[in-house]
Amino acid sequence: MLSTENNKALSRLTALFDEGSFVQMGSQVSEAPVVTGWGTIDGNPVYAFAQDRESKNGAMNAAHAEKITKIYDLAAKTGCPVVGIYDSLGAELDKNAETMNAYGMLLAKTNQLSGVVPQISVVLGVCGGSAAMVACSADLTIMSKDAELFLHGPFQIKAAGCCEADKAGKAETAAAAGVAHVVTESEEEALEKARFALGLLPSNNLAPAPYFDFEAPVWSGYDEKNDCGAALIEKLADNGSLLHLQKDFAKGVCVALGTLAGQSVGFVANTFKENHGKLNAAVCTKIARFVRLCDSYSIPVVTLVNSAGFAVSGEEEVAGSIRQASMLAHTYAEATTAKVSVVVGKGIGPAFMALAGKTSGADLVYAWNDAVISSVCPRTAAAILYPDVKEEEGIAEYKQNVASAVCAAKTGCVDEVIAPEATRDTLVCALDMLAGKRVSRMPKKQSNIQF
């Protein structure tokens, strides 16, 4: 039986939940080095487990998996989120087949509940191999900076003769690869981020997104040459409401959960100063993963478009980046949650169609009055249409007469042209109008999305 005195796993769960609300279950199962139970976070019921590395190194076995499985089963029945705290040195090696079945059981449960109730993994120690697959099956993965998350450990990579063994498993490596959504300085901050994230998500896929009291920001302008997408999001979202995700991965785009006039919203914003906001394979993957998360729980998506198109690179082309491009377009088109796009700078070619195309999924599309919306690069278009004038003059004429926001509005490409300072009010009104959105899809088992 796990001791309740000075037990790190239990203390982590106590810190996660509202004071005095955690109720432990299965404490008499001595063969399972994991603490499980439920409690409330900001008054809402949540299930959780924490692996106990101080007991048998937190080793995975059948009893360990059965305790966690019970948590998932209760979450499915009651429609409540699940938080998993990972800290284990691996499986019981003398119970080979048993541990493989145990990991398989957990993988099945986490994936069956995906999109049904929010799942958050908090990695506070070692999480490797099959356990890492389970942890990364959650909606969000949060790590403390001293934690380890890997499929193959440093010793395995070093034995294989790979030169980057020293980077394997580190939190900064997981952040740069997009595996970890958030990396924190301490365990306490990681648990607080998990609490904050749950506050922005509904309890399950049938529950409404939460609403909050809010403080509106003051519009201070936007400079695409110096501001990143995150800065623009912060100028529009309610003060103090944002949770930025995957900040060190695919820096050409920023994604964040937050609130707008008190309503939970998912924000996507291109960073133009990063290669003119061009979309590459990593950027497409980051956006698509985030939009699918929002769509799973009917959280509206606001997309702030400032992209010169898809990245032109032989390396990207050879790597098959068209897969990720089509995945991005598919994700937006398939999502049934409310989708509002604002072209805040450039909306060029396929990037505009994927992120802001009315005919390919957006409910409402707005454009700032100085936006440029074009099927091709304005420089290319000007060279063809105005061969007899100076290049810069031709580009200016093309932007004004063919690719302006007003021209796009006249053809129905965008719904309205707005001033930058009116963006927040416009978005609030649009989402309020779309609150009752209902969409029926053709019956099918699933879509065959590219990955």
Query: What tens digit of pLDDT does each residue of 139-173 get?
Result: 999 999 999 999 887 777 766 666 566 777 899 99
Mean pLDDT across the stretch 52-79? 91
CA-CA-CA-CA torsion for 198, 196, 243, 241, nearest 10 degrees? Answer: 110
pLDDT digits (tens, 9 = 90+) for 308-317: 988 876 666 6
Confidence of residue 418 (pLDDT cuts 50, 70, 90): very high
pTM score = 0.93
pLDDT at 163: 58
Average the pLDDT over 59-71 and give the result: 91
Instruction: Decide if pLDDT at 29 tops 90.
Output: no
Computed over every residue of the chain, the mean pLDDT equals 91
pLDDT by residue (tens digit) across 325-336?
889 999 999 999
Q: Which residues contact 250 (CB under 8 A, 6 or more apart)?
A: 178, 280, 282, 283, 285, 286
Q: Does the pLDDT of residue 321 top 80, yes or no?
A: no
Mean pLDDT of 187-211: 95
**CA–CA separation, 218 and 211 (whole Å):** 21
> What tens digit of pLDDT does each residue of 93-131 get?
667 678 788 889 999 999 999 999 999 999 999 999 999
Q: Which of 54-63, 145-154, 246-255, 278-287 has the lowest mean pLDDT?
A: 54-63
Q: Which of 22-31, 246-255, 275-284 has the lowest mean pLDDT?
A: 22-31
Please report the pLDDT score of residue 13 as a whole number. Answer: 97
What was the pLDDT predicted at 41? Answer: 97
Backbone angles phi, psi at 82, to 5 degrees: -130, 130
Question: What is the predicted pLDDT for the residue at 319?
Answer: 58
Distances (CA, A) of 101 to 14, 96, 130, 308, 389: 30, 9, 11, 49, 71
Residues in Cβ contact with 303 at an 8 Å cutoff, skipping those fewer than 6 apart? 268, 269, 339, 340, 341, 342, 355, 356, 362
Architecture of domain 208-436: Alpha-Beta Complex (3.90)
Confidence band (pLDDT; 50, 70, 90) for 36? very high
Residue 67, phi then psi, degrees to nearest 5: -65, -45
Q: How confident is the model at residue 1, as a pLDDT?
A: 41
Distance CA 330, CA 381 (A): 28
- Give the Cα separation of 364 and 255 in Å (integer): 19
CA-wise closest residue to 167 among 183, 181, 150: 150
Per-residue pLDDT, 209: 83
Note the pLDDT of residue 161. Answer: 66
Sign of CA dihedral 273, 279, 280, 283: positive
| Protein fold of 8-199 | 2-enoyl-CoA Hydratase; Chain A, domain 1 (3.90.226)
| Residue of 90, 199, 201 lying closest to 148 (CA atoms) | 90
Intervals of CATH 3.90.226.10 along the chain: 8-199, 208-436
**What Cα–Cα distance (Å) separates residue 355 from each residue in 27, 278, 304, 312, 331?**
49, 12, 9, 18, 10
Q: According to the model, what pLDDT value does residue 154 have?
A: 72
Which residues are within 8 A (CB) of 195 and not within 5 positions of it... i.e. 6 or more apart?
16, 41, 42
Higher pLDDT, 319 or 246: 246
Mean pLDDT to the nearest integer, 373-387: 90
Mean predicted confidence (pLDDT) in 77-87: 97
For 417-446, what is the mean pLDDT? 92
Q: Compute how many other C-beta atoms are within 10 angstroms of the C-beta atom of residue 138.
A: 21
User: Is the confidence at residue 359, as pLDDT, over 60?
Assistant: yes
Q: Is the dihedral of CA 21, 57, 107, 144 positive or negative?
A: positive
3 — pLDDT class (breaks 50, 70, 90): very low
Phi and psi (nearest 5°) for 15? -70, -30
Mean pLDDT of 419-445: 92
